[in-house]
């Protein structure tokens, strides 16, 4: 009962600040055999059978409702990195810390309130090495009032990438007796893809 009362207060509070929206997304977490670096192909973690995972954009005060379906063959969990989760730590998505994880073939809905926060965060998998296998994307909470004036806003994010899964790299390091040395990443992705295939940025004089 207390849980339901708190959820109701959370939604009412977000609606009361004016023009707040309920931003609802449906994520089916699986794997997709694809080349993200332009050279090597393997099963990257994907959302809705697509990679890279599209960035999530909301406006401060919105409530993000993230409906997750786990189509992996192992548990998964979704963590909004940087969100405080005051009194809602059951939505924090840290497996075996605040939740048991979403079993294969099961669903879970995360409710994330953004009333008190704004800025550039990220959302990622929080089970073992899933985030290094592609389960990550920017989470942008736009301020209702811009702190400064500018003409255009671009999201530019960088990712380490390798030609094999994190678990495979750890196994190789173990055979080479390099257990104390973290696996090395050979490639950097820009906005989720090889820099040679990422969208070009165009700059204009006197534009901010």
Give tens-digit pLDDT for 52-103.
Answer: 999 999 999 999 999 999 999 999 999 998 888 888 777 777 777 767 889 9
- The per-residue pLDDT for range 149-200, each reduced to its tens digit, is 888 888 888 888 877 777 777 677 667 666 566 666 778 888 888 877 777 7
Average pLDDT, stretch 9-29? 70
Complete edge-to-edge strand list for the sheet that includes strand 193-194: 158-161, 187-190, 193-194
| 121-142 pLDDT, tens digit each | 999 998 888 888 889 999 999 9
- Are 156 and 190 within 8 A, CB to CB? yes
Given a contact cutoff of 8 angstroms between Cβ atoms, the answer to whether 107 and 68 are in contact is yes
Average pLDDT, the chain: 82
Token pair 């990422």 in the structure block, residue = 198
Measured between alpha carbons, how far is 146 from 148 in angstroms, rounded to an integer?
A: 5
Specify the pLDDT at position 14.
45
């Amino acid at each position: 009962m207390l849980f339901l009362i708190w959820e109701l207060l959370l939604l009412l509070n977000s609606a009361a600040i004016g023009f707040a929206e309920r931003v609802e997304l449906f994520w089916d977490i699986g794997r997709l055999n694809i080349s993200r670096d332009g050279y090597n192909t393997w099963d990257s973690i994907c959302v809705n059978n697509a990679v890279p995972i599209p960035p999530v954009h909301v406006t401060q005060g919105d409530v993000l409702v993230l409906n997750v379906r786990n189509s992996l063959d192992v548990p998964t969990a979704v963590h909004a990195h940087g969100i405080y989760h005051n009194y809602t730590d059951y939505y924090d998505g840290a497996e075996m810390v605040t939740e048991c994880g979403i079993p294969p073939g099961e669903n879970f809905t995360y409710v994330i309130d953004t009333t008190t926060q704004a800025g550039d965060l990220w959302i990622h998998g929080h089970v073992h090495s899933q985030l290094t296998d592609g389960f990550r994307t920017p989470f942008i909470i736009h301020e209702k009032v811009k702190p400064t004036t500018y003409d255009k806003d671009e999201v530019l994010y960088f990712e380490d990438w390798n030609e094999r899964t994190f678990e495979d790299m750890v196994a190789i390091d173990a055979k080479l007796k390099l257990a104390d040395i973290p696996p090395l990443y050979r490639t950097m992705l820009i906005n989720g893809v090889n820099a040679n295939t990422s969208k070009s940025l165009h700059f204009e004089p006197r534009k901010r």
